[in-house]
Amino acid sequence: STSEAPVAVETLDDVPEHVLRGLPEDVRLFPSAVDKTRLGVWATKSILKGKKFGPFVGDKKKRSQV
């Protein structure tokens, strides 16, 4: 029989505290709709086009790094 290794699932415990503190009021982290093992960013209400969030804290990554 083939046994597959358990898949690690990202949880809120994996998210640095400064990220959680810096989330805009109407944004939450929930399981991703794309990859159930990862967290996704979800809006609790519509966000107007052009809305800016900040300040950015952390390391900027290239798309290929995330």
pLDDT digits (tens, 9 = 90+) for 34-46: 999 999 999 999 9
Asked if residue 16 belongs to a domain, the reply is yes
- Residue 36 domain flag: yes
pTM greater than 0.85 (yes/no): no
CA dihedral angle for residue 14, residue 19, residue 21, residue 23, rounded to 10 degrees: -120
Range of the domain at 18: 12-43
Looking at residue 43, its pLDDT comes to 94
The answer to whether residue 1 sits within a structural domain is no
The number of domains in the chain is: 1
- The per-residue pLDDT for 18 is 83
**pLDDT given at position 58:** 74
Q: How many CB atoms within 10 Å of residue 34?
A: 7
Q: Which residues of the chain have pLDDT under 70?
A: 1-3, 57
| Residue 38 maps to a domain | yes
Confirm whether 23 is domain-assigned: yes
2 occurs within a structural domain: no
- Helical segments of the chain, H only: 17-22
Establish if 31 belongs to a structural domain. yes
* Residue 49 within a domain: no
